Amino acid sequence: AQSVAQPEDQVNVAEGNPLTVKCTYSVSGNPYLFWYVQYPNRGLQFLLKYITGDNLVKGSYGFEAEFNKSQTSFHLKKPSALVSDSALYFCAVRDVSGFQKLVFGTGTRLLVSP
């Protein structure tokens, strides 16, 4: 079964510093990977996806993610964090069977301090 793991419950970073939110995956076949962000009491907003092609994927709000096949990782990164980036981040992988649902990680709370 497809799965993703987010090993960190929370990541703390100072504004202006680079940030990384980790995600590793376990899939059969080629992975379709996604990052979403959730602000309090809101639904999920799409940040970026990896389907195929370049390993470095650029997304919304200055975020990017690097697909690493050998390490089965898809870490989310941003060169310079903003306080407004503080939110809950979910990594997800698309299931290959049935309705191709998304399987989510447990989420990582990002806290950017001023």
Partner 1 sequence: GAVVSQHPSWVICKSGTSVKIECRSLDFQATTMFWYRQFPKQSLMLMATSNEGSKATYEQGVEKDKFLINHASLTLSTLTVTSAHPEDSSFYICSARPGSPSSYEQYFGPGTRLTVT
Q: Give the residues lining the site for partner 1 (CB under 8 A).
A: 32, 34, 36, 41-46, 49, 51, 90, 94, 98-99, 101-102, 104-107
Residue with Cβ nearer partner 1 (70 or 97): 97
Q: How far is the CB of 60 from partner 1 (least distance, A)?
A: 12
Residue with Cβ nearer partner 1 (42 or 69): 42
Cross-strand partners of 37: 45, 89
CB 56 within 8 A of CB 68: no
Tokens of 30: 């080629």
Torsion of the alpha carbons at 27, 100, 37 and 4, rounded to the nearest 10: -20
Q: How far is the CB of 11 from partner 1 (least distance, A)?
A: 15
Q: How far is the CB of 39 from partner 1 (least distance, A)?
A: 10
Angle subtended at Cα 50 by Cα 3 and Cα 92, rounded to the nearest 5 degrees? 30
Residue with Cβ nearer partner 1 (15 or 64): 64
Tokens of 57: 């994927």
